[in-house]
Structure 1
Amino acid sequence: AGPERTAAAAARVLDAATARGALVHLQRSALDPDTVGVLQGRKELLPRLREEVASGVGIEVPRLAEEKRISWTNLVFGIGSLIGLWAIIGILSGAGSSLEAIKGASWGWVAVTFVLAQLPMLLGGLVLMGSATGDLPFGRCVALETSNAFTALVGGDVAVFAIRVRFFQRQGYEPAEAVSAGAIATTAWWVVKALLFIVALPFAAGDFKAASGESGDQKIVWIVLLIVLAAGVIAAVITLVPRLRRLASSRVRPYLVSIWANLKTIAVEPRKMTYVLVGTTVAQLLSTLALGAALHAVGEQASIATLLTVNTLAGLIGGAIPVPGGAGVVEAGLIAGLVSAGIPQDQAVAAVLIQRFFTTYLPPVWGWLTLAWMRRREYV
């Protein structure tokens, strides 16, 4: 019948309170699958219907209620969170001697670790500025990356990407431009991590040795690697099965085209490319140096190549597993890597706990405050 006739009929039989109660739930996530199927390709229908009904009964369009449903994404995220929780418990259960090492740490080096752990947020602001066409305020971009310390801990990389896209939209970018800019920023971090690992590994290979026994941390890393392998198998199946490949292509191709167009635009601006490449590289190096400073704090040290290899590999594994902030998984990877490089177990655990406290668990405090401030300003 169309939104206008439907709204007119609703206005004749519904009072304002009943209409408002219906409109707060008039969204795709609250509808049955058959109705959602009918709405394919008609994204504007529900918003128009909400506006027409609200106008017909003389009320403002109410805010939609947040629907909570269990999805495959939520299920996978929940399983990943359990893995992270199990890993953290395994690490802390044997951390008694490590806590003594932390108590006896050099607090000057601990302070250096804190400073180095915060600097990547400034570099993240540069990366955002370089990811989008046009000019963005540096302070606003740094504020977003600061808030992402909280977002990453509660929602992982997916939530960080969504917040970045929302930020670009609030700055006046079209949805396709916002998605491509957010994708460039996120992809740049992953590409630089992988390249640093490839460069550092040959120099660090001689520092690693097989452990005499298989510790709990190593078992966790093996489980994580198996999950990553499973993800690779799924990706291969999607690539090889024509029907799945066509489905993935139809969903992903428009975004890839937009990303490529945006990338070509910023590629001709040396300043933009410098922001992206230098920002991501230096940020990763600072995070690695923070791990090195934490090792110095407990009386140990390792080469920069070894630290890069361990830190980057743990970050890649943590990012590939659906655990918010890589909690537990990254710690297990860092500890196993440092122990394999000859660092005593207690000192490795102590150094990792110091570094992760300053890089992952403390910044969300001011990240949450910054996110609340940005929401009040309607920057996200």
Structure 2
Amino acid sequence: MSAATNVEAPKLEELRRVAPSSILIAGFTIFGMYLLIGQFANVQWSAMFNDAQWVWVPVVFALAWVPIGGIALSLLGSVSKPLPLRPVLMLEIGTKFTGLAGGGVTTFALLVRFFQKQGLKSAVAVTSSLLNSVASGFTEVVFLLVALFFGASSFSLSKGGSGGASGLSGKILLAALLLALLAAIVFTIPKLRHRISHFLIPQIRAARTNLAAVMRNPRKGIQMLVGNAIAQVFYALVLWAALHVYGESLGLMQLIVINTFASIIGGLAPVPGGIGVIEAGLIGGFTAAGIPDQQAIAATFTARMFTAYLPPVWGWLSINWLRHRDFV
């Protein structure tokens, strides 16, 4: 037809298959939203806001910045080469935008680009991420064990203002069990385990030089552990200040347990920024610790406002700052 009419044939649109990962992300996002929407029905927002102690909101805002410094310190400790402090801080702020916009893949790409601009190979980003993950996990486990040892385990699923905590906590527990089961299945299937090993082992070998240099330097290890400890403590303090906005309070150790629990659940769920899943974990933890439902929900969203919802705005500004100065 195109030859007869002497008209160029239109280019056919290429068909694209929906990736299983996209379906998984969409499914967990819907699940996270489902956990939250059911909690709004029992909240009297006007009464909550009228009784709120707004003087605590600036405290929440200020405390929410400190964990970024802790994570930046950990990043400095995970690389053998000295890095400039201010750009590293701006990089960590920038990850708040990439984490929401594209998830872990986009954040890792930003990290790789930053390292390349510093004269480091992309494999160093793999080592850095691996070391930070290990240090973060180790810190979480230590804090969790210390918190439970000092009596932060006094949680009751029957506590809560309207009796809805047990239902929500049950959903969170079910989600945790399903995620654990999924992880177990992945690592027990030889084909999947082989694929994961086939990807990870070459990356670890490629980054061996950086890994060895970091492991031989105790100062680097201390930087990673202290940085992650600062982040953990101040994330808990953000929750502490957010509870005070609505006239409630919990001990630091209890808040560390709640934050660690919510972070683990949010990290396992493939949802950008853990949106929806982390909120459900925090609400379930608060109500299990005796905070009334309405205050638990309001405090959760106040804390997340300054740690998840607004940070992508300054994250976008930070990325532009890095780009204009040729750091990424």
TM-score scaled by structure 1? Answer: 0.75
Q: CA RMSD in A?
A: 2.6
1:115 aligned residue? 62
Q: What secondary structure, in the 3-state scheme, does the structure 1 residue paired with 2:65 have? A: helix
* Partners of 1:199 and 1:173 in 2: CA distance: 38
Cα deviation for residue 314 of structure 1 reads 0.5
1:273 aligned residue? 221
Unaligned residue ranges in structure 2 (runs of 5+): 1-7
2:123 aligned residue? 176
Cα deviation for residue 144 of structure 1 reads 0.5
- How many corresponding residue pairs? 314
Q: Assess if the C-alpha contact under 8 Å between 2:36 and 2:276 holds in 1.
A: yes
Cα deviation for residue 317 of structure 1 reads 0.5
Q: Assess if the C-alpha contact under 8 Å between 2:139 and 2:229 holds in 1.
A: yes
1:64 aligned residue? none
Q: Which has the higher contact order (CA 8 A, sep 6+)?
A: 2
1:38 aligned residue? none
| Cα gap change, 1:116 to 1:226, in 2 (>3 Å) | same
The reply on whether 1:106 has 2:53 as its aligned counterpart is yes
Letter in 2 for 1:138: L
Pairing partner for 2:281 from 315, 333, 339 = 333
1:220 aligned residue? 171
* Partners of 1:103 and 1:161 in 2: CA distance: 43
* Partners of 2:117 and 2:134 in 1: CA distance: 21
The reply on whether 1:264 has 2:212 as its aligned counterpart is yes
Letter in 1 for 2:101: V
Cα deviation for residue 296 of structure 1 reads 1.7
Q: Assess if the C-alpha contact under 8 Å between 2:108 and 2:125 holds in 1.
A: no
| Cα gap change, 1:132 to 1:217, in 2 (>3 Å) | same
1:364 aligned residue? 312
* Partners of 1:96 and 1:356 in 2: CA distance: 19
Pairing partner for 2:89 from 136, 142, 167 = 142
* Partners of 2:101 and 2:149 in 1: CA distance: 35
* Partners of 1:159 and 1:360 in 2: CA distance: 17
Cα deviation for residue 137 of structure 1 reads 0.5
* Partners of 2:33 and 2:213 in 1: CA distance: 43
Pairing partner for 1:353 from 295, 301, 305 = 301
Show structure 1 runs of 4+ deviating over 6 A: none
The reply on whether 1:282 has 2:225 as its aligned counterpart is no
2:4 aligned residue? none
* Partners of 2:187 and 2:193 in 1: CA distance: 10
| Cα gap change, 1:193 to 1:120, in 2 (>3 Å) | same
- Residues 321-372 of structure 1: CA deviation (Å, up to 9, x unaligned): 0111111111111111111111111111121111111111111111111123
| Cα gap change, 1:169 to 1:294, in 2 (>3 Å) | same
Cα deviation for residue 271 of structure 1 reads 2.9
* Partners of 2:103 and 2:28 in 1: CA distance: 11
The reply on whether 1:230 has 2:178 as its aligned counterpart is no
- Residues 277-318 of structure 1: CA deviation (Å, up to 9, x unaligned): 111111110010110111122111111111110111111101
| Cα gap change, 1:192 to 1:155, in 2 (>3 Å) | farther
* Partners of 1:68 and 1:102 in 2: CA distance: 48
| Cα gap change, 1:328 to 1:245, in 2 (>3 Å) | closer
* Partners of 1:146 and 1:80 in 2: CA distance: 25
Cα deviation for residue 68 of structure 1 reads 6.9
Q: 1:62-211 residue pairs with structure 2 within 5 A?
A: 70-97=18-45, 100-211=47-158
* Partners of 1:166 and 1:187 in 2: CA distance: 22
Cα deviation for residue 205 of structure 1 reads 4.5
* Partners of 1:251 and 1:347 in 2: CA distance: 45
* Partners of 1:104 and 1:93 in 2: CA distance: 19
The reply on whether 1:379 has 2:327 as its aligned counterpart is yes
Letter in 2 for 1:364: P
* Partners of 1:149 and 1:103 in 2: CA distance: 31
* Partners of 1:276 and 1:214 in 2: CA distance: 39
Cα deviation for residue 163 of structure 1 reads 2.2
Q: What secondary structure, in the 3-state scheme, does the structure 2 residue paired with 1:207 have? A: coil
| Cα gap change, 1:256 to 1:313, in 2 (>3 Å) | same
* Partners of 1:276 and 1:68 in 2: CA distance: 42
* Partners of 2:308 and 2:135 in 1: CA distance: 20
Unaligned residue ranges in structure 1 (runs of 5+): 1-17, 23-29, 31-66
